[in-house]
Amino acid sequence: MTSMRQFISDIKSNTPLHPILLDEPVSIDALPTPALTIDLNVLDSNLKKMQNHIDDHGMTLRCHTKMHKSPIIAKKQLAHGAVGVCCATVSEAEIMLLGEIENILITSPVVTEDKILRVMSMAKQSDDIAIVVDHIKGAQALNKYADADDINLKVYIDLDPGMGRTGIRPGEDALVLGQYILESCPRLNFQGLQMYAGNCMHINGFEKRQSKYQYILQKGLETKKLFESKGIPVPVLTGGGTGTYDMEPDIGFITELQAGSYAFMDIEYRDIGGQEKEHFDDFKTSLFVLTTAISQPQSTLITFDAGIKCLATDTAYPEFKDVEGVVYHFGGDEHGIVQLNNPSRTINLGDRLSLITPHCDPTVNLYDYYYPYRNGLVEEIWPISARGKSQ
């Protein structure tokens, strides 16, 4: 018989974390498809551009790993200057810690004993484990278990930006929670406020997105001032994302940006629009699904080996990287049917083409490995270590 805790421990200990080096480089054209590929030249450029922006505006970057789910990529972001990472789930955080990343913020609250114990286990291994709280009961539970384990746990108060998903109401409610933590939870070290307005990230049109985002963050600014008026310093204001990265300095609330998708980009983000452009292309697409044309039952249609099993279907449809005049339609679990309207190039059976993903986060979650390439050559394979880590 195996206990649930032992089962979870065994899963973690058997998770691949490090690059798999190939005996010799392989052309991207020789990969088995469908394959999740990363253009390393573009990835490097995206990481550098974001970090330069952060540095130029006196902010810090805490990269959100829920997007790439890879300690390998997280280490690249840290090497560029990020102060740490954030994770949406406890199991994602566990994988990052196993991957030798210690500065981790868990951005969703936990209230059950099993997850609190796992957080405490991580906090025993690193002094830089932090988690958000949004209710007095949650703070009580964290303090209780931290005290039992002789741990001082870093916490942030999560503010609800109006989504009704997680977080406490800004203003007086948040202040009451903050005062409770300071007065009644000696094992919890208050670090600041989190406010992630996910309801703003994909608003189409820069001005419209900026207007709503400014309105929502005003409640965060007022909460910060309220805390300070009561003598409670707020060292860090963490939140934001790729869709608002260039708005944060002007608004003046976020000091620590939780961006993730900028590293890969996808159709969802591309189509929100930039400051002066129809498309948001401040960061270029580095993530693709390589797929092969495998059948052509009709002259105006051609089928590729990439369907629902390998491309997230929650929003837009995928598009080909270098081909225009075609439209992709999902044709089932394993197939994508491409309508040949007026293709900009001839597509033949056996051709391998790269698709831009509609939504990178859930697409990544469908794969075991990345195939990173530079100038068309793959030298190593990267496990997607936190794939499926939703607990």
* C-alpha distance from residue 235 to each of 53, 130, 347 (Å): 21, 14, 56
pLDDT at residue 4 is higher than 60: no
Residue in 181, 183, 247 with CA at minimum distance from that of residue 214: 247
Give domain 4-37+281-383's CATH number out of 1.10.10.10, 2.40.30.260, 2.40.37.20, 2.40.40.20. 2.40.37.20
* Confidence at residue 316, expressed as pLDDT on a 0 to 100 scale: 83
Segments making up each domain of the chain, as ranges: 4-37+281-383, 40-265
* Confidence at residue 313, expressed as pLDDT on a 0 to 100 scale: 78
* Contact (Cβ atoms closer than 8 angstroms) between residue 106 and residue 90: yes
Identical fold, 4-37+281-383 and 40-265: no
* Confidence at residue 7, expressed as pLDDT on a 0 to 100 scale: 57
Measure the CA–CA gap between 249 and 60, rounded to whole angstroms: 11
Amino acid identity at 187: R
pLDDT in tens, 327-383: 999 999 999 999 999 999 999 999 999 999 999 999 999 999 999 999 999 999 999
pLDDT in tens, 286-307: 999 999 999 999 999 999 999 9
Residue in 112, 107, 95 with CA at minimum distance from that of residue 191: 107
* Confidence at residue 127, expressed as pLDDT on a 0 to 100 scale: 97
* Confidence at residue 221, expressed as pLDDT on a 0 to 100 scale: 96
Query: Taking residues 265-293, what's their average pLDDT?
Result: 95
Q: According to DSSP H, which parts of 149-244 are helical?
A: 172-184, 206-229
Going by pLDDT thresholds of 50, 70 and 90, the confidence category of residue 13 is: low
Cβ-proximal residues to 241 (8 Å cutoff; 6+ apart), any chain: 64, 196, 198, 201, 257, 258, 259, 260, 261
Report the predicted TM-score, pTM, of the whole model to 2 decimal places. 0.95
CATH for the stretch 40-265? 3.20.20.10
pLDDT in tens, 29-39: 999 999 999 99
* Confidence at residue 14, expressed as pLDDT on a 0 to 100 scale: 81
Residue in 260, 273, 223 with CA at minimum distance from that of residue 96: 260
* Confidence at residue 3, expressed as pLDDT on a 0 to 100 scale: 59
**What SS3 class is residue 106?**
strand
